[in-house]
Structure 1
Amino acid sequence: MYRVTIVYNHPADPAAFDEHYSSKHVPLVQQIPSVKRFAAGKCDSLDGNPPSAYALAQLYFESKAEAGQAFASPEGQNAAADVANFASGGVTMLFTDEETVLP
C-alpha cells in the first residue's frame, strides 16, 4: 500500500481552516480517483503540550504509480489547488511505500 500523508501546520485562523476543510476540501479529496482509504484528524499530544502540527490527512493507494496518476488527474489538481485557500500555516507532504509490520 502506498500512503500520502499531508501535514498541516498551525493555521492563522483555526476556525476558518476547520470550516473550509470540512465543507469544501474534503468533498474535493473524495473525488480523487483510486483512493483506497482517506483518513484525517487534528493532532494531539500525550503530554498536554501543543502538538507540532495542526492536522494530518492520509490517502492510501495501491501503488506509487496510482498515487501519481491520482494527483495528476483533474480531481487531484483541484484538491491540491484548494490547499492555498485554507492552509495558511503551510503543509508538508510525505510519501511512503508502507509495509505492514504487525497485522
Structure 2
Amino acid sequence: MTYRINVGYRHPADPAAFDEYYRNTHMPIAARIPGLVRLSAGRTDSLDGTTPEFYVMGELLFESRDSALAALGSPEGQAAAADIAHFADGGFVMLFSPEEWALP
C-alpha cells in the first residue's frame, strides 16, 4: 500500500516569485528526499470559476507510511520542510493518507 503526503500551498503575495522558487529551488530540494517514489505538483483550478483555496497542490508518494516517516526525518526531508518558509508566505497545509482504495 502506498502512502502519500499532499501539501496545499495557499495563495502567495507574489505568484510569479512563488512559481519560480517552487519549480527551480524547492522541487529539486524535495526530489532528494530518500524513498520518494513520485513527486508532482500543479496549480489548482476550479470548475466554476471561483478562486480555489489553494494555489498549488504538491504530492509526495512513498511505498509505505514507515518510509514516509523515515523520509521526513532524514536530513533531506528536514531540508525540504525548512525550505517551505522561504516561499510559502500564504501558508500551507499538509495532509497524510494511505492509498486504501484504488481502481486499475
Which TM class, normalised by the smaller chain length? over 0.9
Could you say which structure has the higher strand fraction? 2
- Identity between Structure 1 and Structure 2 (%): 53
Partner of 1:25: 26
Q: Per-residue displacement from partner, 1:9-62 (whole Å, max 9, x unpaired)?
A: 011111111111011001001100000111110000011111111000000111
Distance across 2 between alignment mates of 1:87 and 1:98: 27
> Is structure 2 residue 85 aligned with structure 1 residue 102?
no
Query: 2:76 & 2:102 partners in 1: Cα distance?
Result: 32
Unaligned runs of 5+ residues in structure 2 are none
What's the C-alpha RMSD, in Å, of the aligned pairs? 0.8
Compute the TM-score of the two structures, normalised by the length of structure 1: 0.96
Unaligned runs of 5+ in 1: none
1:90 has 2:94 as partner: no
Shift of 1:101: 2.9
Q: TM-score, normalized by length of structure 2?
A: 0.95
Counterpart mapping for 1:1-103 below 5 A = 1-103=2-104
- Larger CA deviation: 93-102 vs 40-49: 93-102
Q: How much does 1:80 deviate?
A: 0.5
- Runs (4+) of structure 1 moved beyond 6 Å? none
